[in-house]
């Protein structure tokens, strides 16, 4: 079933923030925290430091009415910089790749910073900033 989540970026303190949010919303993480070190090696990318391997690749916490807060730690070693405007993304999780492609095509038109949806190890993923400056992410999880 399709759903929407709010995706947050942090500079190394995603776990601290989400442990706080867990107390505030009195809920538990949807799945165990995935660490950067859990990611399979990617061709052409440098090896992660031991410190970066411990950072959060993905965490999800249900809050109200089926909405989930999700997050990742940005990696300075990979050139990521957190600035106001790239710390919040609306994550759309449609049921099919075709719907992800349609949403990407329409939302990215006239926008910037697009990565067309494509297969990743966890599923089908893409992202863009629309012409109004809003960041969108598209995820179709494997098995969906």
Give domain status of residue 44, yes or no: no
Give domain status of residue 43, yes or no: no
Q: Are 22 and 61 in contact (CB under 8 A)?
A: yes
Residue 130: predicted pLDDT: 86
Q: What is the pTM of this model?
A: 0.72
CATH number for position 19 = 3.10.180.10
Give domain status of residue 123, yes or no: yes
Residue 144: predicted pLDDT: 61
What is the extent of the structural domain holding 99? 3-36+53-141
Residue 96: predicted pLDDT: 95
Q: Which residue has the tokens 């790239």?
A: 86
CA 1 to chain centre: 18
Integer angstrom CA distances of residue 37 from 10, 34, 60, 103: 17, 8, 17, 31
Total number of domains in the chain: 1
What is the tens place of the pLDDT at every residue in 95-140? 999 999 999 998 998 998 899 999 999 999 999 998 877 889 999 9
Give domain status of residue 74, yes or no: yes
Q: Looking at residues 81-90, what average pLDDT do you find?
A: 79
CA 106 to chain centre: 20
State whether the Cα torsion 64-67-68-74 is positive or negative.
negative
Give domain status of residue 92, yes or no: yes
């Amino acid at each position: 079933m399709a759903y929407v989540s709010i995706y947050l970026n942090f500079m190394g303190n995603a776990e601290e923030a989400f442990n706080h949010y867990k107390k505030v919303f009195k809920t538990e993480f949807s799945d165990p925290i995935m660490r950067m070190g859990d990611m399979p090696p990617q061709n052409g990318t440098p090896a992660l430091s031991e410190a970066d391997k411990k950072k959060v690749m993905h965490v999800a916490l249900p809050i109200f009415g089926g909405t989930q807060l999700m997050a990742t730690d940005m990696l300075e070693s990979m050139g990521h910089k957190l600035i106001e405007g790239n710390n919040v993304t609306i994550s759309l999780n449609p049921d099919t790749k075709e719907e992800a492609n349609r949403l990407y095509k329409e939302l990215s038109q006239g926008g910037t910073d697009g990565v067309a949806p494509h297969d990743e190890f966890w599923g089908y993923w893409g992202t863009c900033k629309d012409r109004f400056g809003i960041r969108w992410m598209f995820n179709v999880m494997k098995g969906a």
